[in-house]
Amino acid sequence: MDKKKILVVEDDSDLLDLVSRKLSQIGFEVIGLATGQGAMDYLRAQKPDLMILDILLPDIDGITILNELINFEGTKNIPVIIFSNLDQRGSFEQVSAVGNFEYLIKAKTDLNDLASKVKEKLGLN
């Protein structure tokens, strides 16, 4: 069976490394990107099985990426886990307005919980 591809979009290089290593250890192929533009370029060329997306990125924010994602036939069904430290109500509402996405707060979620949520979203539990 092919490894499931997980696109992780996170501008904190240490956190990107930790998440990538954790997901790789449990058998996923991880593509780690630090910018929204990098994610957009990747999504135009490839289709990951799931995306983990930060909201605050140095160029294109995660909400814009979500809007682009759901407006293209080839990407609109990719499961997305928002992984952000934005825990204000407005952030949740913005994400909810775009679609039904899982929203995890970085500071309140350990890597094992994130890995479990990835498996759940992919139907691997």
Summarize pLDDT for 23-57 with one digit per residue, the tens.
999 999 999 999 999 999 999 999 999 999 999 99
For residue 103, the model assigns a pLDDT of 86
Domain coordinates in residue numbering, the chain = 5-121
Question: Is the distance from CB of 29 to CB of 53 less than 8 angstroms?
Answer: no
Q: Distance (Å, rounded) from C-alpha 82 to C-alpha 42?
A: 18
Position 79 pLDDT exceeds 80: yes
CATH class as words, domain 5-121: alpha beta
Q: Distance (Å, rounded) from C-alpha 35 to C-alpha 33?
A: 6
> What's the whole-number mean pLDDT along residues 54-66?
92
The pTM assigned to this predicted structure is 0.91
Longest distance between any two alpha carbons in the chain, whole Å: 41
> In whole angstroms, how far apart are CA 88 and each of 15, 43, 85?
21, 28, 9
Task: Output the CA torsion 5→7→8→9 (10° steps).
Answer: 170
Q: Distance (Å, rounded) from C-alpha 95 to C-alpha 64?
A: 10
DSSP state of 16: H
Give me the sheet containing 50-53, strands edge to edge.
29-33, 5-9, 50-53, 80-84, 102-105
